[in-house]
Amino acid sequence: MLFGQGLIFAVQQLFYRDSTVVVARMVAPARLFVKKRDTVRWRISLNVEGKCSRVEYRKLYAGNLKERSLIKDSILCSFKGERFKVFAELSDENSGKVIKKVKEKSLPQAKDFRLSSLNYDYTDKGVVLSVLISPKKRQKFRVRFGIRKQWSRRRMYDLPEFTTERDTLITFLILSSDLSYGKVRFLAEVNGLKRETEALFNQFNILNDRDFKVLLAVLNFVFGPEETRSLSEAPRNKRKEIWKEFWEKRGGKRAEEDFMERLYTAMKLFPSSFRAKVSDRALVYTKFGPPDEVESHPYRMEGKPYEIWYYHRLGKVFVFVDFDGSGDYRLVPESYLETIR
């Protein structure tokens, strides 16, 4: 299944009855790190101002790691107190590049209980959300979890009420079919106290209807509707099986990964301003690769901006016009040049 597992580097704030634990946690795709002598090296630092400071250097033999393998690591500080400032940093030691910095203040708390940050983790079935509740007395709790996707309204799920006086970890599964390409904001609410966190899913999820529709549009452009008919007619419970069969006929897993990598590169280079759509330039790039020559006219006193892509080796020319000034160039017939030049 194509399911986006982007970088997690976040600070978790966990509040227990007698102590506070702050964790700098990393879940990172192996492709994020530079390999040297088949080894990846990274550095994690965590500083809770005036209370705790830690730095750890790690290395891992990466000879057998796949590009999509996930590397997990974490460091923590334990102390007393509810008010603090946290600084954390993740860097790639082989390249010297800082991958991500995090700066946070302690989270606001209720009078009669303490609530951790909202944390999430990947599983085969989806994403597990979790919060830790630490009551100061026995009381009733109402818990809600939710999700707000980049192009959708938020959706909240109410859990059954419960009563406790002990530290209690509450979890909730967001199914993979509810996750799609783009930014996602996860939500939690406990007795009115709110927590949020954001994630980026940078791969398509074929079990999500919107993602699958976008992928079909790309495949239709590249291979033609006859070649993709089996996919377009596949029921959801057969998608994974038919998707695998589709790529086995075209070179197997390696062909699929090369195709998806080219698509992701194209979408990054030529993003669409329209919801749930791959731009025309990204479609052409995905099918034919980078052009041999580009004639670009982004600023014109009269007429619309346009580009001409030349594939000399293929004997093909593609013309794109920015009709509305959004930067989303639309593919037009080559004959259209006579009207815009």
Structure tokens given for 71: 């590397």
Task: Tell me which residue has tokens 């259209």.
Answer: 336
pTM for the model: 0.70
Query: According to the model, what pLDDT value does residue 260 have?
Result: 85
Q: 1 falls in which pLDDT band (50, 70, 90)?
A: very low
Query: Which CATH superfamily groups domain 1-106?
Result: Immunoglobulins (2.60.40.10)
DSSP code of residue 33 = S
Distance in angstroms (rounded) separating the CA atoms of residues 140 and 152: 32
Asked whether the domain spanning 108-205 has the same topology as the one spanning 1-106, the reply is yes
Over the stretch 250-272, which tens digit does the pLDDT of each residue have? 998 888 888 888 888 888 888 88
| Distance, C-alpha 280 to centroid of its chain | 23
Query: Which CATH superfamily groups domain 108-205?
Result: Immunoglobulins (2.60.40.10)
DSSP code of residue 270 = S
Plot region of 163 (φ>0 → left; ψ -120 to 50 → alpha; else → beta): beta
Over the stretch 207-252, which tens digit does the pLDDT of each residue have? 888 889 989 999 999 999 999 999 999 998 899 899 999 999 999 8
Residue-range domain boundaries for the chain: 1-106, 108-205, 206-279, 291-341
Q: Which residues contact 154 (CB under 8 A, 6 or more apart)?
A: 146, 147, 148, 185, 187
Burial class for 227, CB neighbours closer than 10 Å (0-12, 13-18, 19+): middle
The stretch 100-116 carries a mean pLDDT of: 95
User: 3, 243 in Cβ contact below 8 A?
Assistant: no
Amino acid at 34: V
User: 297, 307 in Cβ contact below 8 A?
Assistant: yes
Query: According to the model, what pLDDT value does residue 3 have?
Result: 41
Structure tokens given for 66: 């796949």
Planar angle of CA 20, 24, 26, nearest 5 degrees: 145
Query: According to the model, what pLDDT value does residue 275 have?
Result: 57
User: 48, 84 in Cβ contact below 8 A?
Assistant: yes
Q: 163 falls in which pLDDT band (50, 70, 90)?
A: very high
Over the stretch 6-45, which tens digit does the pLDDT of each residue have? 678 899 999 998 899 999 999 888 878 888 988 999 999 9
